[in-house]
Structure 1
Amino acid sequence: MYEDIKKVWKWIDGADAVLIGASNGLSITEGLHLFADNQVFEELFGDLKRKYGLRCILQGMGARWPTEEEKWGFWSRLVHHYCGKYQETQVMSDLKTVIGDKDYFVVTSNGECHFELCGFAPEKIYEVEGNWLTMQCAARCHDRVYPWGELAENMAAAEQGGRVPSGLVPRCPACGGPMQVHMEFENFIPETESQERLEAFLKQYHGKRLVILELGIGWRNQLIKAPLMRLAAAEPEARYVTVNLGEIYIPGEIREKSCGLDGDLAEILHRLAKERMGETG
């Protein structure tokens, strides 16, 4: 592992730019597990678990809630805990250290906005499945999204028994119908502007030394991992790095330009950050 860490750092240090791909494994490393019925879920949503039979955050996100007051009760509690109260974790601090002053772009299926909350530039982030801090018309009567972070905090402060006051329930400013969090549910508005910025980034660094840094993405992932591997194959100067615990997949066609780091994501990023600090003094 030590030699692989050194090799990956040399690739990053010599790169013209870094393309970061991130999925659920990074969220889990930060303490957010969408699929787990664990102690954190019990402490945060134990009352809703017993009332509605919820078994994980993801189930609550996709639930058909009986009322809008209950729907926004769940969402405001979730957003308040994981966004409103969020403080930069060591893993994100180490990632920022590793990137340094390199140009970068982030492609992620994580919706909790932690990249932006940690200081990554919003115009350099493509959240392919939307994010928790914007909302849209549930019927998609128009294609505008709206920030609701401040409203989420007001809702969370007023929520009682899993419900928010009716006066705080958002309505579409165009049709007056229900709103929904801008995630990949029915009538999802695609992130076309972010996708266009990603395409411009890839065009800018076509044929140059691009490091693809993949963080916590399972080998079956077709949304992010598959396109990143195809990009690595198509770009002659690209280097492909995948970091994941117990699940490393690199196809044969890009093996010579790739490195798989099998281990704890937080530990590996910390070791890469230490390599950088050693290089810079």
Structure 2
Amino acid sequence: MNEFKTARNWLDNADAVIISAGNGLSITEGYNIFAHDEAFMTHFGTFYERYGIMNILQGAFYNYPTVAERDAFYKVLFDYMVDHYESTPVFRDLKQLVGDHEYFVVTSNGNMHFQLSGFDEERIFEVEGNFGNNQNPMPMIQKQQAKFNAFVQKYRSQNVVILELGIGANNQLIKALLMQLVAQSLSYRYITLNLPHEINIPAAIEQRSIGLAGSIDDHFKELLKND
């Protein structure tokens, strides 16, 4: 049985799935908050020319001279990434992979694309908040974290698959904590989809892990074969 078949078998037979996602998932969709690219210049060129802002992330945390100028940036940001967002094939494939399983999402992405793609907002933990609550994210983050902790406690002794999508190899905020959870819970399994140089599976969980190196969207298609 190859790795894709094994991974699909793990997902199909899981009692629950934890989806963890980072910027790599957004890049797969076509949104890169770190890039100074054509899309950035098309939508945010004014802010580059006026303030020297090089990417979306820098713009989100920039110390604007006035509240009005900050609001102007966020208006463009919402128009680009939220208000006119339409769910992409990568999210539709992800929903198909999860199927009817119980799930929880843990993500550092603040673009709200999980909610906008039909994932239950009560089962999403945005560890750094989102674009909509960037001024005071802590109350929401704490509420979401409590729900996630309750989910983990409920399924602590059951068959859980952590499906990691586009999180950097050395990420401490999500990746390190979830790998530790896998190490502590012998019924947990771990599947990571990422670029080859970002695959990182510690020896402690190697026997219960699969690393699929390459593009997330292509790997989703492979996992969904014969559906």
1:93 alignment partner AA: R
1:43 alignment partner AA: T
C-alpha distance after superposition, 1:196-242 (max 9, x if no partner)? 11111111111110001000001110000001100110111111111
Q: List runs of 5+ in structure 2 lacking aligned partners.
A: none
> Partner residue of 1:159?
none
Alignment partner for residue 206 of structure 2, among 248, 255, 260?
Answer: 255
In the alignment, the residues of structure 1 paired with residue 36 and residue 61 of structure 2 have an alpha-carbon distance, to the nearest angstrom, of 16
2:78 alignment partner AA: V
Aligned Cα root-mean-square deviation (Å): 1.3
> Partner residue of 1:71?
70
In the alignment, the residues of structure 2 paired with residue 274 and residue 78 of structure 1 have an alpha-carbon distance, to the nearest angstrom, of 36
Alignment partner for residue 145 of structure 2, among 189, 195, 208?
Answer: 195
> Partner residue of 1:113?
112
1:97 alignment partner AA: Q
> Partner residue of 1:139?
none
Q: List runs of 5+ in structure 1 lacking aligned partners.
A: 136-179
2:59 alignment partner AA: G
In the alignment, the residues of structure 1 paired with residue 140 and residue 124 of structure 2 have an alpha-carbon distance, to the nearest angstrom, of 14
The SS at the match of 1:130 is coil
1:250 alignment partner AA: I
The TM-score normalised by the length of structure 1 is: 0.78
| CA deviation after TM superposition for structure 1 residue 133, in Å | 2.1
C-alpha distance after superposition, 1:50-71 (max 9, x if no partner)? 1111111111011000111100
In the alignment, the residues of structure 1 paired with residue 112 and residue 224 of structure 2 have an alpha-carbon distance, to the nearest angstrom, of 22
> Partner residue of 1:204?
154
1:213 correspondence with 2:163: yes
In the alignment, the residues of structure 1 paired with residue 147 and residue 38 of structure 2 have an alpha-carbon distance, to the nearest angstrom, of 39
| CA deviation after TM superposition for structure 1 residue 189, in Å | 4.5
The TM-score normalised by the length of structure 2 is: 0.96
Alignment partner for residue 266 of structure 1, among 199, 203, 217?
Answer: 217
| CA deviation after TM superposition for structure 1 residue 95, in Å | 0.1
C-alpha distance after superposition, 1:136-175 (max 9, x if no partner)? xxxxxxxxxxxxxxxxxxxxxxxxxxxxxxxxxxxxxxxx
Alignment partner for residue 240 of structure 1, among 166, 190, 196?
Answer: 190
List 4+ stretches of structure 1 deviating above 4 A.
Answer: none
> Partner residue of 2:12?
13
In the alignment, the residues of structure 1 paired with residue 46 and residue 54 of structure 2 have an alpha-carbon distance, to the nearest angstrom, of 11
Alignment of 1:36-55 (within 5 A): 36-55=35-54
C-alpha distance after superposition, 1:25-73 (max 9, x if no partner)? 1011111111110000010011211111111111101100011110000
Identity %: 44
- Bigger helix fraction: 2
Maintained 8 Å contact 1:21/1:215: yes
In the alignment, the residues of structure 2 paired with residue 96 and residue 274 of structure 1 have an alpha-carbon distance, to the nearest angstrom, of 15
C-alpha distance after superposition, 1:108-147 (max 9, x if no partner)? 0000000000110000000010011235xxxxxxxxxxxx
C-alpha distance after superposition, 1:71-123 (max 9, x if no partner)? 00001110111000000000000000000000000000000000000110000
In the alignment, the residues of structure 2 paired with residue 67 and residue 271 of structure 1 have an alpha-carbon distance, to the nearest angstrom, of 49
2:164 alignment partner AA: E
In the alignment, the residues of structure 1 paired with residue 117 and residue 225 of structure 2 have an alpha-carbon distance, to the nearest angstrom, of 19
Maintained 8 Å contact 1:241/1:259: yes
